[in-house]
Amino acid sequence: MSRRRPQNRAGREPAEDVKRRIVEAGRAAGFEKEMARMLLGDEGRVIYVRLLRRPCGSAEVFGFVRTDGSFCGRVRVAATLRDEDERMVFHAVNMHGRESVPLERLGDEMRAVMREMSEVAAAREAGDNSPRTFGGVVWGRPIDTHRGVFGTGDGDV
């Protein structure tokens, strides 16, 4: 028995609204839009927006709108700050802690991401690559994450 594929238009308008609100929140915080896409799956539309902070930072916002148009009201925000040399991605600084952001608070959260990026970038320029914590949000390099909860590997976790 074959599954019926949802119509191409199903849930499109609510998803377009969510995508537009994500882009607006990013722009208001000082990011520029690199791409905003929607992918249609069996259950709904995945929204992906990539925002840039020049010269070498980015934020990605993910959302999901079901084919019936329902939306849980939350998005996931991920961010990365890296050297201009893309080959050094292993030493990039990634943000953890904004996995479930209410859409109505996204503007405030994106402004906080921009402030945090500025602080982390300034610390890195001063030679300090240690992880940074802002409330429940942690910025750290994958190499530190690999050592375990941003520890040094000496048992100090």
**pLDDT tens-place string over residues 95-143:** 999 999 999 999 999 999 999 999 999 998 898 888 899 999 999 887 6
Average pLDDT over residues 12-17: 89
* CA–CA gap between residue 97 and residue 136 (Å, rounded): 6
Lookup: tokens for 87: 């080959």
For residue range 83-102, what is the model confidence (pLDDT) as tens digits? 765 555 556 889 999 999 99
For residue range 43-97, what is the model confidence (pLDDT) as tens digits? 888 999 999 988 889 999 999 999 888 999 999 999 999 876 555 555 688 999 9
Measured CA distances, 87 to 23, 147, 151 (Å): 28, 21, 24
